[in-house]
Copies of this chain bind each other. A is one copy, B any other.
Amino acid sequence: MGKTAPVENNDPSAFYEEVKRLHLRPLWLQEAHAPHKLAVPHLWKWPQLRGQMMRAAEVVSTENVERRVLGLMNPGLESSGRFATTPNLVAAIQMIMPGETALAHHHTPAALRIIIEGEGAYTCTDGERLWMEPGDLILTPAWSYHDHKNEGKGPMIWLDGLDVPLIQAMDTFFFELYPGKRTQPATQADEASLSRFAAPGMRPANFTWQKNYSPLTKYSWKKTMQALDDLKEPDPYDGLRLEYFNPHTGGPVMPTIGCYAQKLRAGARTKSHRHSSAAIYHVFRGSGYSVVEGQRFDWSERDIFVVPGWHRHEHANLSAGEDAILISYTDEPLLKALGIHREEPQE
């Protein structure tokens, strides 16, 4: 029963022809109801990512293209033509060279930046300049204007995380250039939001905020590192793991994307589990490996890898003396808000 072929009293072919013509489709001809798991686990090595990025700098300049970005295409989703690393999220490497500007725009996809290399560049979000250093997490939420400028001496490279595949699937992609200018004016003091949220559980008296994303737009690595060092209670599946969150409401940093920093102590190996949310990991420090549905991925500093939804996974730090640190982002807040997040330990 169930999905087996129906008993067909008479030849139904004329019926099937006709309903097709009327834009009707019999549900009983549908395939099984389970995740297709077309997305596959994959790892991109940093030397190759960086190398191609440098070549891209020869091929195009930010004078000619809005963004110099290489998207990390999930091999399993590539044939569908979607710009996707997981069904809901995309990862990409972006670079701006000294003196370059990535011009100001906004769009309905939400975006975050995990800084990998460089100094002396900033992202300007809604009039607030945020200076970028490796390990920083910077938010440019849905529909907030943002531009990037490199005033330093070397290339500035970061990992972009966006919910483009989700927004594309919903066909709600809207985009606008900042009116009349390549860069938006700084209407706030530099890093103003960091001066408002400078200690845990402290904010300006009478602070008001109506938006559905974090009023703290940069989480500096220096504070994240300290918080990771302070954290004492490891999770069996993820080691010492912190969530970046909206300090004004307790919600996720943005409605669709959750961000995490985790430390795997020297020699640590986690238990295996799976969940319906997918994760993209950046190896901020150290080396080790992850096993995803039986396949081992060895990672080193600055590599990027993806664990698609409902794939069993575990992590290991091979080093005897060095901690490993992973910064990651997922669609967990989205699935939880919809009430359909599932999680399962490996038996």
Contacts and interface: CB of A to CB of B under 8 A. Distances in A.
Interface string A1-37: 1111111111010010011001111111010111111
A35 B174 CA distance: 7
A102 B250 CA distance: 34
Copies in the complex: 4
A161 to B, nearest CB: 14
B37 A23 contact: no
B39 A171 contact: yes
A38 interface: yes
Which of A5, A52, A78, A142 counts the most chain B CB atoms within 10 A? A52
A72 B24 contact: yes
A157 B331 CA distance: 37
A257 to B, nearest CB: 11
A247 B246 CA distance: 9
A312 B39 CA distance: 36
A253 B65 CA distance: 44
A67 B27 contact: yes
Contact of A204 (B37, B165, B241): B241
> What does DSSP make chain A's interface, helix, strand, loop or mixed?
loop
A199 B172 contact: no
Contacts of A6: 59-61, 64-65
A5 B63 CA distance: 11
A322 interface: no
B189 A232 contact: yes
Interface of A: 1-10, 12, 15, 18-19, 22-28, 30, 32-39, 42, 44, 48-49, 52, 55-56, 58-61, 63-75, 78, 83, 87-88, 92-93, 103, 107-108, 141-143, 165-167, 169-175, 177, 189, 192, 194-207, 211-214, 216, 219, 223-224, 226-227, 230-233, 235, 238, 241-250, 253, 255-256, 260-262, 276, 308-309, 331, 334-335, 337-340, 342
7 contacts: A7-B60, A12-B59, A19-B70, A24-B73, A26-B60, A26-B71, A30-B83
